[in-house]
Structure 1
Amino acid sequence: MKDTAVDMVVVEGERHTAVLLSGEMDLLSAPSVRDRLRDLVSVRPLVIDVSGVSFFDAEGLRIVAATARRGLECGTGIALVGMRPFAEKMFRILRMDEEVPLCASAQEALWCLLPPTDEEISDWLRR
């Protein structure tokens, strides 16, 4: 069996954390990814960019579900960006998209996760 890994880049924003993932979300990569995402979502909302993830197996889906549950417990949350078509189809079939927003952009994900400030609303209205 080949060795699989997920590369993770974490970028702290002003009111959220962005996580960029690449590789394969599977049984072999699950423990380190699950633990790190759980730690991150315990503190702040996560925007998780999965556009670099080439494969999700059942364990990869469980990682996302567990992270979402932890976010709910902590009052934070997660939103996914860049989901590939097959993985998106699986999320929708399993109705995971009812708990985890699948967003077209990081900006959309932030609108799903963070209550906008008055300044952000004013800026948006001026556009």
Structure 2
Amino acid sequence: MSNDENPLIIRIDATNDLVVVELAGDLDMETTPALTAELKAVLGARPVVVELSGVEFMDSSGIGVLLGAHREAAAEGGALLLVAAGPRLQKIFKITHLHKVFALHETMESAVASLESPLEIEGAPVETVVPGFTTEPD
């Protein structure tokens, strides 16, 4: 897919307790470098909720960026939660068994409400190698 047809639009809303990253368009090899840069800038001790409902297409590079961000957020004492309302993205996460790794929600409201209790998710696989995210400090 070419990002000329569906460029990735990234909107970030950072409050004191939460960062919301809203995505729209295609999340693919051409658009993931921009998302990686934006996520690296906001990851930390605050929870980050990535709203994927506007994503029309996501390939393995998009999944890789989300895995890297998940790992980095956990390493910094934060959390990465995903909102994937559509059946297409839900299916991608289930087929890849990543619904067991990510805190995956169908609505923004359920993602925010889940922050009131401890998250019960698995860490990203150790063997995951994701461009832009490393396990060593920069």
How far the C-alpha of 1:89 sits from its partner, in A, is 1.1
For residues 1-127 of structure 1, the aligned pairs below 5 Å read 2-4=2-4, 5-115=7-117
Q: Secondary structure at the match of 1:64?
A: helix
Q: CA RMSD of the aligned region, Å? A: 2.0
SS in 2 for 1:14: coil
CA distance in 2, matches of 1:57, 1:78: 19
Structure 2 unaligned segments of length 5 or more: list them: 119-138
Contact 1:19–1:49 under 8 Å retained in 2 = yes
Q: Quick one: structure 1 residues 6 and 13, their matched pair in 2 at CA, closer, same or farther if it must change by over 3 Å?
A: same
TM-score, scaled relative to structure 2: 0.74
Q: Rg bigger for which structure? A: 1
Q: Which runs of 5+ in 1 are unaligned?
A: 117-127
1:102 match: secondary structure: strand
Count of residue pairs brought into register by the alignment: 116
In terms of fraction of residues, the more helix-rich structure is 1
Q: TM-score, normalised by structure 1?
A: 0.80
Cα deviation for residue 47 of structure 1 reads: 1.0
Kindly indicate whether the alpha-carbon contact (under 8 Å) linking 1:27 and 1:59 is maintained by their aligned counterparts in 2: yes
**Quick one: distance in 2 between partners of 1:41 and 1:25?**
19
Residue deviations 1:15-47, cap 9 Å, x none? Answer: 111111001000000111012112212252111
**Deviation above 3 Å: which 4+ runs of structure 1?**
1-4, 113-116
Superposition deviation, residue 75 in structure 1:
0.9
TM-superposed CA distance for 1:105, in Å, is 1.9
SS at structure 2 position matched to 1:15: coil
1:107 alignment partner, SS class: helix
Aligned to 1:123: none
